Structure 1
Amino acid sequence: MYWLGDWRRIPICTFFKDARLVFKADSLGREILSIALPAAMALTADPIASLVDTAFIGQIGPIELAAVGVSIALFNQVSRIAIFPLVSVTTSFVAEEDSLSEASPEREDSRCLEAGPPMDAESKELLPQKGGNVHNSDFVGESFNMVKEEHKRRHIPSASSALFIGGILGLIQAIFLIVAAKPLLNFMGVTSDSPMLHPAQQYLTLRSLGAPAVLLSLAMQGVFRGFKDTKTPLYATVAGDVTNIALDPLFMFVFRMGVSGAAIAHVISQYLISAILLWRLLEQVDLIPPSMKHMQFDRFLKNGFLLLMRVIAVTFCVTLAASLAARQGSTSMAAFQVCLQVWLAVSLLADGLAVAGQAILAGAFANKDYDRATATASRVLQMGLVLGLALAFILGTGLHFGAKLFTKDADVLHLIQIGIPFVAATQPLNSLAFVFDGINFGASDFAYSALSMVLVAILSIICLLILSSAGGFIGIWVALTIYMGLRAFAGFSRIGTGSGPWEFLRSS
């Protein structure tokens, strides 16, 4: 009788809840899409710009294409070590603060601060506290700095913290990459006698000058995502990337700057994106906190450290794959670069759903609205699976014809054709893995996300080393397929077993 009457209480059934509504344009579906579509477009804009860079550079020659491929992989992976924890933590914290601030003014009219609504200790820290008469309207406006008013900027402590930390990390990253460019490239398999070394070092050094802008712009994107505003980052990113695409041929071919021109164009675009986002953010948020204690650095550092562990594990896997491809020669690296850029650019479409899930779930968990949390998790996972299947079909049929856009070298094209089935077939796994990440971050399940990813990375690294040695280029992509499968399974098992923050599913 349990299986007949109460089967819906089994946590794993969450994945199938209201599956018939996956395409329904109800309020939840519209909210998810209003966040996910602009977020996905913004997330894919930069990889698409990198693809355009790759296409332009590929016209110079296969050595330059491979050299820039190594540099982009290295820059992106080092950036992710700082970006991923910063953006993910910022999105969750800002969404929580924004959600709590919406309810606070209504409650404050009828009760004092000390007798306020139940919330955990961390959530209480989100609301700046001061002594005095709680019924005084001036105090209410000062005490709850985050109250939304039509013509008044808000105090969002996490926004101030994110920009401060992002600026510092950006400067550190720029200095590190410029100073250590050659040793890092050597680690990636570009040795001192390799023809790839000079163009790779040239591109990496110049592009590193844009690191502060990259970190700041992505920190601000995290703030806007927390507000469930993904359109502003989209407009800024498109403006920057269109500038990048326009400047590429000008610097590379008209001014004859080659790979240096591509790097300079990219740096200019990043500073433009950062300037646009800062201008828009200053219109909405007062970024000067009342005092240093409101910056909540301890909260950022604690959860940021957990995600740092996670992103190092992810970074090492992808960087190792690129390094193993580079060690097989410039032809293998050039083909791997094209396949990887397409793989990442298309997969990031699912990250839009992850952003939507994270922003909505963070607010739902902050308000202990578990019905909304369950419905949101189910819907974004179902959307993610449908998206992954659609992407697999599109890439499997279309990429065969588009490979020549990146290079005319016959050997590189041959290897790209070998990699296409892996790029296409892994899309459902990639989509589910990214969406599971967003769901776990929305539930503030940072510890599980970190520890499970470390275990996945260990297994994946072993697969990469063994399979690349035995199967070469194909072996690397088989190992990457296993890696994404393990990531998806790790997310599946958390909700499917009703553990951690999802324990309520056992009794719902």
Structure 2
Amino acid sequence: MTQAPTSARSALRHHDREIIALALPAFGALVAEPLFVMVDSAVVGHLGTAQLAGLGVAAALLATAVNIFVFLAYATTAAVARRVGAGDLAGAIRQGMDGIWLALLLGAAVIAVALPTAPALVDLFGSSHTAAPHAITYLRISTLGIPAMLVVLAATGVLRGLQDTRTPLYVAIGGFGANAALNATLVYGAGLGIAGSAWGTVIAQNAMAAVYLVVVIRGARRHGTSLRPDAAGIRACAHAGAPLLIRTLSLRAVMLIATAVAARLGDTDIAAHQIVLTLWSLLAFALDAIAIAGQAIIGRYLGAGDEEGARIACRRMVHWGIASGVALGLLVVVSRPLFIPLFTTDTAVRDALLPALLVTALIQPVSGVVFVLDGVLMGAGDGPYLARAMIVTLVVFAPVALLVPSLGGGLTALWCTMALMMSVRMATLWLRTRSGRWIVTGAVRS
């Protein structure tokens, strides 16, 4: 009578261990990434206000150029995990190599566009005449590191698909350390100024890419996989990534609209909005770690033809997402007296910040479900649906958010529209997972 419940509990513990083993290192790697910009800002900030302002503009442009290609990690993770589940390790590595070749091609294309247009791009941001030269210098040099950054994305996807999130963590930590040392040495020791910061970051990024390539190439040789570019495979990677690119652009549009609306509300509200958005991004790292585990686990189960295993893993990760969201929401509420003074001493900003912060805390459980289901559907290779769902979310969110200033709403009202956005995302993702149409087994999603 007790055997079945015991077996069920054992299965749940197995899923829990698997999720934790993948999610914790993934979280560490995710947190290490923004530290690159923090180090650059800390080092460049001592050069002067104009240099720091230039870095801010260039960093925003670079982040946009790289983040829109995050599908290189997501699509590669899902495709490689399917091959792993099917027992085709050679095919998994080959799939990963196709993603890396695509990353190199896209990186070369970005360089070709960004180098000659750097002054125009900086001018588009409305940089002052004192900050613009520094922004152009940093942007042009850092652009040379974009192919390496995209290779890191693709190679990270390969290792995640192979169920390895520890190596990306180690590489991220090593890259962060190298970046910090190089920045200090080149900016001050060599006297290169902001150019030294850019070169330090480029060198660190290329070193990270080189480590990843060594790991992947060793795997390829071990399994007798060709390293040569395969046109058909590269096209397949691009085709699989296109819907995720649309999803990412739609999500980016949501964030830009929210910031634009906050700016129209006044300086106090935009300052408070930036603080809430920073916290939102930090919380997203924790939830995204579970989503990354979902991509790898679901892809592997579906590749192995285990539909029931995929369903059980999905349900368990949803539980993890809800629990993590509740915990993070409570953490925000309890710790707010500690971290709010770190951001501002302005009473007006604090007054605008607090209710918006509470809205953010309340929607964390919803965010937990959204991130998990997003990862599950990515792991299933259900990119076209994710693109459509995000477009629907944007269509619902945009008019409501844009009405906030005209209706006399403030920052809290704006963040209520963000809560609406997350609720719409949860509804669209829940309906899809509920339907079971995402469950397509096999080494390749047909």
TM-score when scaled to structure 1? 0.73
1:236 corresponding residue in structure 2 = 171
**Partner Cα separation in structure 2 for residue 333 and residue 407 of structure 1:** 13
**Partner Cα separation in structure 1 for residue 280 and residue 425 of structure 2:** 16
The superposition leaves residues 397-427 of structure 1 with CA deviations (integer Å, 9 ceiling, x where unpaired) of: 3354235556778877776666543443443
Counterpart amino acid of residue 429 in structure 2: G
2:205 corresponding residue in structure 1 = 270
Counterpart amino acid of residue 62 in structure 2: F
**Partner Cα separation in structure 2 for residue 289 and residue 202 of structure 1:** 39
SS in 2 for 1:101: coil
1:452 corresponding residue in structure 2 = 389
Q: How many residues align?
A: 432
Aligned match for 1:443, one of 360, 380, 389: 380
1:214 corresponding residue in structure 2 = 149
Runs of 5+ in structure 2 lacking a partner?
442-446
Going from structure 1 to structure 2, the CA distance change for 1:474 and 1:465 (only over 3 Å counts) comes to same
2:403 corresponding residue in structure 1 = 466
2:429 corresponding residue in structure 1 = 491
**Partner Cα separation in structure 1 for residue 412 and residue 49 of structure 2:** 20
State whether structure 2 residue 52 is matched by structure 1 residue 90: no
Aligned match for 1:431, one of 365, 368, 391: 368
Counterpart amino acid of residue 380 in structure 2: A
Once the two structures are overlaid, the 10-residue window that deviates more, 56-65 or 316-325, is 56-65
Deviation at 1:358, TM superposition (A): 1.5
Deviation at 1:344, TM superposition (A): 1.5
Deviation at 1:386, TM superposition (A): 0.8
State whether structure 2 residue 420 is matched by structure 1 residue 482: yes
Deviation at 1:466, TM superposition (A): 2.3
Deviation at 1:330, TM superposition (A): 7.8
**Partner Cα separation in structure 1 for residue 120 and residue 317 of structure 2:** 42
2:218 corresponding residue in structure 1 = 283
Aligned match for 1:348, one of 253, 263, 285: 285
CA contact (8 A) 1:50 1:341 kept: no
Going from structure 1 to structure 2, the CA distance change for 1:193 and 1:442 (only over 3 Å counts) comes to closer
**Partner Cα separation in structure 2 for residue 157 and residue 254 of structure 1:** 43
**Partner Cα separation in structure 2 for residue 290 and residue 53 of structure 1:** 35
Going from structure 1 to structure 2, the CA distance change for 1:74 and 1:163 (only over 3 Å counts) comes to same
Deviation at 1:209, TM superposition (A): 2.9
SS in 1 for 2:87: helix
Matches within 5 A, 1:156-305: 156-184=93-121, 190-191=125-126, 200-247=135-182, 262-286=197-221, 289=226, 296-305=233-242
Percent identity over paired residues: 28
The superposition leaves residues 152-188 of structure 1 with CA deviations (integer Å, 9 ceiling, x where unpaired) of: xx8722111111000111222234334444544565x
**Partner Cα separation in structure 1 for residue 116 and residue 340 of structure 2:** 35
**Partner Cα separation in structure 2 for residue 158 and residue 438 of structure 1:** 19
CA contact (8 A) 1:88 1:441 kept: yes
**Partner Cα separation in structure 2 for residue 203 and residue 332 of structure 1:** 30
SS in 1 for 2:404: helix
Going from structure 1 to structure 2, the CA distance change for 1:309 and 1:177 (only over 3 Å counts) comes to same
State whether structure 2 residue 363 is matched by structure 1 residue 376: no
Deviation at 1:428, TM superposition (A): 2.4
CA contact (8 A) 1:78 1:315 kept: no
Deviation at 1:66, TM superposition (A): 6.7
Deviation at 1:368, TM superposition (A): 2.2
Going from structure 1 to structure 2, the CA distance change for 1:436 and 1:59 (only over 3 Å counts) comes to farther
**Partner Cα separation in structure 2 for residue 274 and residue 100 of structure 1:** 28
Deviation at 1:49, TM superposition (A): 4.1
**Partner Cα separation in structure 2 for residue 211 and residue 263 of structure 1:** 12
Going from structure 1 to structure 2, the CA distance change for 1:419 and 1:167 (only over 3 Å counts) comes to farther
Matches within 5 A, 1:39-118: 39-51=26-38, 53=40, 68-69=55-56, 71-83=58-70, 85-101=71-87
**Partner Cα separation in structure 1 for residue 100 and residue 253 of structure 2:** 26
The superposition leaves residues 122-151 of structure 1 with CA deviations (integer Å, 9 ceiling, x where unpaired) of: xxxxxxxxxxxxxxxxxxxxxxxx45xxxx
Counterpart amino acid of residue 239 in structure 1: G
Deviation at 1:296, TM superposition (A): 1.9
**Partner Cα separation in structure 2 for residue 390 and residue 24 of structure 1:** 24
SS in 1 for 2:381: coil
- RMSD between superposed Cα atoms in Å: 3.8
**Partner Cα separation in structure 1 for residue 348 and residue 426 of structure 2:** 33
Going from structure 1 to structure 2, the CA distance change for 1:390 and 1:249 (only over 3 Å counts) comes to farther
Once the two structures are overlaid, the 10-residue window that deviates more, 197-206 or 389-398, is 197-206
Deviation at 1:288, TM superposition (A): 6.2
**Partner Cα separation in structure 1 for residue 348 and residue 155 of structure 2:** 42
**Partner Cα separation in structure 1 for residue 197 and residue 262 of structure 2:** 23
**Partner Cα separation in structure 1 for residue 227 and residue 112 of structure 2:** 32
SS in 2 for 1:313: helix
**Partner Cα separation in structure 2 for residue 478 and residue 444 of structure 1:** 31
SS in 1 for 2:69: helix
1:143 corresponding residue in structure 2 = none
2:243 corresponding residue in structure 1 = 306
Counterpart amino acid of residue 79 in structure 1: V
